[in-house]
């Protein structure tokens, strides 16, 4: 009977094991695989003829199984490394995309804020100079309210109207007998309104202009003045 060596199986198994070691070595920075495993396998080779006939098939199957398991382990390790690297790259991309979206949203909000402030400034500048009303000997409540609607920003008119309702009921000649407060917005003293025009006693437009300036300067807006009035019953 010829002496058939299982050296091939042993070397193959050692090769598979070395393959795993090579993968691990690359991951840790060692790029020089060793030949020691091959030499050890060669030195420890068992001749198939030295093994009882009944066990020869079992030895062969065991060797092939070890080889397959080693190759599978190497493949699993490589797949794990690949998946981890792909996850790291995707996480970095997601973080960049999230930051870009946040920056874009912040820039958009800032632009909207600037546009809103600019619109408010333009509106206030326009209404403060809107005094081109022909003088009359007297004015009805409806006429005074119509003037105010042309001079007060739309989003502030109701607040301005609420204050005037409580202070004078839209009577531009209203006088407080005890304090001397005068006009639509009950300026105290009434002569303060001379800063808006010499005709402050008889011209509702002059009183509206002064009242709007006063509310803007002291409370930020008519609605700011109305908030204060509700809390204190005066402004």
DSSP secondary structure string for all residues of 145-206: HHHHHHHS-TTTHHHHHHHHHHHTTT-TT-B-TTT--BTTTTBSSGGGGGGT-TTTTT-HHH
Nearest to 197 by CA among 139, 126, 135, 138: 135
Confidence bin at 119 (pLDDT 50/70/90) = low
> What structural domains does the chain harbor?
7-91 (no CATH), 129-232 (1.10.530)
* Residue 121: predicted pLDDT: 57
Per-residue pLDDT for 205 more than 50?
yes
pLDDT, position 140: 97
Reference 64, options 16, 21, 117, 9; nearest CA is 9
State phi, psi for 103 to the nearest 5 degrees: -65, -40
- Is it the case that residue 224 has pLDDT exceeding 80? yes
Can you tell me the mean pLDDT for 172-192?
96
Say if residue 15's pLDDT is above 90.
no
In angstroms, the CA 118 to CA 120 distance is: 5
The mean pLDDT of 156-161, rounded to a whole number, is 97
Judged by average pLDDT, the poorest of 15-19, 41-45, 119-123, 195-199 is: 15-19
Q: Do the beta carbons of residue 162 and residue 228 sit within 8 Å? A: no
Q: 156 or 41, which is more confident?
A: 156
pLDDT reported for residue 49: 57
């Amino acid at each position: 009977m010829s002496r058939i060596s299982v050296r091939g199986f042993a070397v193959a198994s050692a090769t598979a094991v070395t393959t795993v070691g090579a993968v691990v070595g690359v991951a840790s920075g060692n790029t020089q695989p060793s030949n020691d495993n091959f030499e050890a396998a060669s030195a420890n080779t068992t001749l198939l003829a030295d093994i009882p006939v009944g066990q020869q098939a079992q030895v062969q199957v065991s060797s092939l199984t070890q080889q397959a398991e080693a190759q599978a382990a190497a493949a699993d390790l490589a797949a794990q490394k690949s998946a981890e690297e792909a996850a790291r790259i995707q996480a970095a991309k997601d973080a960049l995309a999230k930051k870009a979206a946040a920056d874009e949203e912040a820039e958009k909000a800032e632009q909207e804020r600037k546009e809103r402030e600019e619109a408010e400034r333009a509106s206030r500048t326009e209404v403060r100079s809107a005094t081109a009303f022909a003088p009359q000997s007297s004015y009805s409540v409806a006429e005074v309210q119509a003037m105010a609607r042309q001079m007060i920003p739309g989003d502030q008119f109701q607040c301005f109207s609420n204050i005037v309702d409580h202070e004078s009921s839209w009577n531009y000649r209203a006088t407080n007998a005890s304090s001397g407060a005068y006009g639509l917005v009950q300026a105290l003293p009434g002569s303060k309104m001379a800063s808006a025009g010499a005709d402050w006693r008889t011209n509702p437009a002059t009183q509206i202009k002064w009242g709007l300036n006063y509310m803007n300067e002291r409370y930020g807006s008519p609605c700011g003045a109305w908030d204060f009035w509700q809390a204190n019953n005066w402004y």
